[in-house]
């Protein structure tokens, strides 16, 4: 899988993609992630990428030219058409099911703006999917792109060190995590539940399922109402 990220701040995204699971997935050849500076594609003599909105109003608007040219140049480089995604507060809210769908793409292009909207014609020309990472305001799409890449890459076969981890996730699908403990057995008078020591793995599984259901009921009853 190849993921290209178009952004005004590639230097912010690159170290994130180089670390931990994403870095290892790249070293292992499971995924290639490339960041590209939209500014490099501006044909303006001052490398301008945004301008004031027609009709007035606050903020700046990302111009069509640098974005359109960047997408076309990078698609050439990537070896063909890509599934295009613009990170935008007005997009559909990211879910595990959307991440899973995008993890099935062989070529992905993520486009992030920074504290500004896109010229609407970018959407008409590029026909991207628009994705938001939640109902709060970020100062740019970079953090959202990092979230999306992370959610996607860990779903690719081999990306997680332990193949049981993904299976466990889909098995307990939709529930919040059960309580976990590690050494020591007692800390500041707080003891680890006895059931975890009796060696009865069926009992342990049952306890964990009950706990996961209880915590989900308490904190996110909405998760129990729907599948996935
Ligand atoms: C209508 C005024 N603002 C919309 C809430 C303008 C605006 C603010 C901040 C436009 C873009 C941004 C930067 N945010 C993103 O690019 C973004 C985002 C977000 O802010 N929240 C959740 N998901 C995302 S994905 C991209």
160 in a structural domain:
no
Q: How far is the CA of 168 from the centre of ligand 1 (A)?
A: 34
* 188 in any annotated domain: yes
Residue carrying structure tokens 């995008």: 102
Same domain, yes or no: 143 and 190: no
CATH at 213: 1.10.1270.20
**Is 202 in the same domain as 120?**
no
Residue 181, in any domain of the structure: yes
Q: Report the predicted TM-score, pTM, of the whole model to 2 decimal places.
A: 0.96
Rounded CA gap, 36 and 19, in Å?
Answer: 18
Please tell me whether residues 129 and 56 are part of one structural domain.
yes
User: Do 116 and 177 have their domain in common?
Assistant: no
Count the domains in the chain. Answer: 2
Query: pLDDT tens, 176-228?
Result: 999 999 999 999 999 999 999 999 999 999 999 999 999 999 999 999 997 65
Q: What is the CATH number of the domain that holds 118?
A: 3.40.1280.10
- Within 6 A (CB) of ligand 1 lie 87-89, 113, 115, 117, 132-134, 136-138, 140-141, 144
- The Å distance, Cα 120 to ligand 1 centre, comes to 14
Longest dimension (CA), the chain: 72
Among residues 69, 65, 88, 86, the alpha carbon closest in space to that of 77 is found at 69
Based on the domain organization, do 60 and 18 belong to the same domain?
A: yes
List the one residue out of 213, 219, 211 whose CA is nearest residue 181.
Answer: 211
The two structure tokens encoding residue 176: 């919040």
Q: Do 133 and 218 share a structural domain?
A: no
Q: For the segment 35-88, what is each residue's pLDDT rounded down to a tens digit? A: 999 999 999 999 999 999 999 999 999 999 999 999 999 999 999 999 999 999
Determine the pLDDT at residue 50.
Answer: 97
Long-range contacts of 219-227 (CB under 8 A, 24+ apart): 219/176, 220/176, 223/174, 223/175, 223/176, 224/174, 226/174, 227/174
Percentages helix, strand, coil for the chain (3-state, rounded to 5) are: 45, 20, 35
- Residue 164 domain-assigned? no
Domain residue limits at 183? 170-224
Q: What tokens were used for 113?
A: 């703006």
The answer to whether position 159 is within a domain reads no
In this structure, the answer to whether residues 123 and 34 fall within a common structural domain is yes
- Between the CA of 109 and the centroid of ligand 1 the distance, in Å, is 18
Considering the domain architecture, whether residues 88 and 184 belong to the same structural domain is answered as no
User: Cβ(132)–Cβ(88) under 8 Å?
Assistant: yes
* R_g of the chain computed on alpha carbons: 22
Statement to judge: residues 183 and 96 lie in one domain: no
The reply to whether 147 and 177 lie within a common domain is no
Tell me what pLDDT residue 173 has: 76
């Amino acid at each position: 899988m190849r993921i290209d990220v178009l952004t005004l701040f590639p230097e912010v995204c690159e170290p994130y993609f180089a670390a931990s699971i994403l870095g290892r997935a790249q070293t292992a050849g499971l995924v290639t992630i490339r960041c590209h500076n939209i500014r490099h594609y501006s044909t303006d003599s001052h490398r301008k990428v945004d301008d004031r909105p027609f009709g007035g109003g606050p903020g700046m608007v990302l111009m069509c030219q640098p974005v359109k040219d960047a997408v076309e140049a990078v698609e050439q480089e990537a070896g063909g058409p890509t599934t295009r995604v613009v990170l935008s507060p007005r997009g559909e809210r990211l879910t595990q099911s959307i991440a899973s769908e995008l993890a099935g793409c062989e070529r992905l292009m993520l486009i992030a703006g920074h504290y500004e909207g896109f010229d609407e014609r970018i959407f008409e020309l590029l026909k991207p999917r628009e994705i938001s990472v939640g109902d709060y305001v970020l100062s740019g799409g970079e953090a959202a792109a990092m979230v999306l890449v992370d959610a996607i890459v860990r779903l690719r076969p081999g990306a997680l060190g332990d193949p049981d981890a993904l299976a466990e996730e889909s098995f307990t699908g939709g529930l919040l995590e059960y309580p976990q403990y590690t050494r020591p057995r007692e800390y500041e008078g707080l003891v680890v539940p006895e059931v975890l020591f009796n060696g009865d793995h069926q009992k342990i599984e049952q306890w964990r399922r009950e706990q996961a259901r209880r915590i989900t009921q308490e904190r996110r009853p909405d998760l129990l109402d729907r599948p996935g």
